[in-house]
Amino acid sequence: MKPVKMSRMLATRLLFEAQKQPDAEVCGCVSERAGMPHEIYPVANVAAQPACRFEMDPAGQIDALKTMRERGERMLAIYHSHPSAPPEPSVHDLEGLGYPDALYLIISLNIKGVLEMRAWQRENAAMRERVLTILD
């Protein structure tokens, strides 16, 4: 699979989203324009245990997709944060994949002072990591 390229500005904004709620998983969508990740669409996490699970608010998700279409963007990735786990898909993440073909970005706040983000995509029923390249 091809590496995922992302501007440093967008990566920084995603990390900031995760830091805003350090005790709960944040989630949302990332759009694409001209082959590059373009904009972040935060969606409320309505999971019963938001500290270790995420479930995007269905209405918020529909709104995000609608706005993307209106702006001529398309859905690229689903992002969420792990407040206290590494940036690897959890068992729950694999169970709850509503968009099996989407790219999954996981941001981890697990290591104090170090923000990590990794990209994953399903391939033959398993989650495979994709190389994430941050462009300056």
Q: Which residues bind Zn ion (CB under 5 A)?
A: 90, 93
CB of 19 to Zn ion, least distance (A): 17
If the CB atoms of residues 67 and 90 are measured against Zn ion, the closer one turns out to be 90
- Strands of the sheet containing 27-33, edge to edge, are 36-43, 27-33, 74-82, 103-108, 116-123, 126-130
CB of 80 to Zn ion, least distance (A): 5
CB of 13 to Zn ion, least distance (A): 19
If the CB atoms of residues 41 and 104 are measured against Zn ion, the closer one turns out to be 104
Q: How many angstroms separate the CA atoms of 7 and 93, rounded?
A: 25
CB of 33 to Zn ion, least distance (A): 26
Query: What is the DSSP code string of 35-90?
Result: TEEEEEEEE-B--SSTTT---B-HHHHHHHHHHHHHTT-EEEEEEEEESSS-SS--
If the CB atoms of residues 17 and 93 are measured against Zn ion, the closer one turns out to be 93
If the CB atoms of residues 36 and 97 are measured against Zn ion, the closer one turns out to be 97
Name the one residue in this structure whose structure tokens are 């290591």: 111
Q: DSSP 3-state assignment of 132?
A: strand
